Structure 1
Amino acid sequence: MDFGGITFTFAAIFLGAAVFASIALYTRQPIIIAYIILGAALGPFGTGLVSNTALVSDAGHVGIIFLLFLLGLDMQPKALLNSMKSSSWVALASSGIYIAIGYAITRGFGFAHNDALLVGAALMFSSTIIGIKLLPTTVLHHKHLGEVLVALLLFQDLIAIVVLVWLQSSDTGTSVIWSVARPLIMLPLLAMGCWAAVRFILIPLIARFDRYHEYIFLLSVGWCLGIAELAALMGLSAEVGAFIAGVAVATSPIAQYIAVSLKPLRDFFLVIFFFSVGAQFDVSALPNVAAAAVVLALSFLCLKPVVYQMLLRGVSESPKLAWNLGFRLGQCSEFALLIAVVALESGRLSPTAHTLIQATTILTLLISSYLVVTRFPTPIASNDALRRD
Structure 2
Amino acid sequence: MMEHSVVFSFFLIFSGAAVLASIALYTRQPLLVAYVVLGAALGPWGLQAVSDTNLLSDISHVGIIFLLFLLGLDMQPSHLIHMLRKATLVAVISSLAFMAMGYAVGVLFGFSQTEALVIGAAVMFSSTIIGIKLLPTTVLHHRHTGELVVGLLLLQDVVAILVLLLLNSGSGESPALNFARSMLALPLLAGFAWGFVRWVLLPLLQRFDRFHEYIFLVAIGWCLGMAEGAVYLGLSAEMGAFIAGVSLATSPISQYIATSLKPLRDFFLILFFFSVGASFNLTVIDDILLPALALTAAVLALKPLVFRLLLKTISEPSETSWEIGFRLGQISEFSLLIAYLAFAGGMIGTEASHVIQATAILSFLLSTYVVIFRYPSPIAVFDRLRRD
> What is the TM-score with the length of structure 1 in the denominator?
0.98
* Pair 1:388 & 2:387 matched: yes
Cα separation, 1, equivalents of 2:113 and 2:328: 27
What one-letter code is carried by the residue in structure 2 that aligns with 1:98?
F
Any idea what SS the aligned residue of 1:25 has?
helix
User: Partner of 1:74 in structure 2?
Assistant: 74
Residues 128, 153 of structure 2: 8 Å contact kept: yes
In the TM superposition, what are the counterparts of 1:133-148 in structure 2 within 5 Å? 133-148=133-148
What one-letter code is carried by the residue in structure 2 that aligns with 1:183?
S
User: Partner of 2:297 in structure 1?
Assistant: 298
Residues 294, 360 of structure 1: 8 Å contact kept: yes
Residues 74, 142 of structure 2: 8 Å contact kept: no
User: In terms of mean alpha carbon deviation, does 345-354 or 20-29 score higher?
Assistant: 345-354
User: Partner of 2:231 in structure 1?
Assistant: 232
Cα separation, 1, equivalents of 2:4 and 2:313: 53
User: Partner of 1:19 in structure 2?
Assistant: 19
1:15-36 per-position Cα deviation (integer Å, ceiling 9, x unaligned): 0100110111111011111100
* Pair 1:379 & 2:381 matched: no
Cα separation, 1, equivalents of 2:279 and 2:161: 22
CA drift at 1:3: 4.7
CA drift at 1:267: 0.5
* Pair 1:203 & 2:182 matched: no
Any idea what SS the aligned residue of 1:185 has?
helix
Residues 162, 183 of structure 1: 8 Å contact kept: no
CA drift at 1:345: 1.2
Cα separation, 1, equivalents of 2:247 and 2:304: 32
Residues 136, 388 of structure 1: 8 Å contact kept: yes
Residues 60, 272 of structure 1: 8 Å contact kept: yes
Cα separation, 2, equivalents of 1:254 and 1:151: 24
Cα separation, 1, equivalents of 2:177 and 2:343: 23
Cα separation, 1, equivalents of 2:48 and 2:127: 27
What one-letter code is carried by the residue in structure 2 that aligns with 1:42?
L
In the TM superposition, what are the counterparts of 1:321-332 in structure 2 within 5 Å? 321-332=320-331
User: Partner of 2:216 in structure 1?
Assistant: 217
Cα separation, 2, equivalents of 1:322 and 1:182: 34
Residues 185, 233 of structure 2: 8 Å contact kept: yes
Cα separation, 1, equivalents of 2:108 and 2:348: 17
Residues 135, 141 of structure 2: 8 Å contact kept: no
Q: Percent identity?
A: 57
1:139-167 per-position Cα deviation (integer Å, ceiling 9, x unaligned): 33211000100000000011001111121
Any idea what SS the aligned residue of 1:190 has?
helix
Residues 135, 378 of structure 2: 8 Å contact kept: yes
In the TM superposition, what are the counterparts of 1:146-225 in structure 2 within 5 Å? 146-168=146-168, 170-225=169-224
In the TM superposition, what are the counterparts of 1:1-389 in structure 2 within 5 Å? 3-168=3-168, 170-389=169-388
CA drift at 1:171: 1.2
CA drift at 1:182: 2.2
Residues 45, 282 of structure 1: 8 Å contact kept: yes
Residues 3, 9 of structure 1: 8 Å contact kept: no
> What is the TM-score with the length of structure 2 in the denominator?
0.98
1:206-260 per-position Cα deviation (integer Å, ceiling 9, x unaligned): 1111111101100000110111011011100000000000001111111111000
Cα separation, 2, equivalents of 1:207 and 1:384: 39
Cα separation, 1, equivalents of 2:381 and 2:371: 11
Any idea what SS the aligned residue of 1:137 has?
coil
Kindly tell me the number of residue pairs found equivalent between the two proteins: 387
CA drift at 1:264: 0.5
What one-letter code is carried by the residue in structure 1 that aligns with 2:7?
T
Residues 75, 142 of structure 2: 8 Å contact kept: no
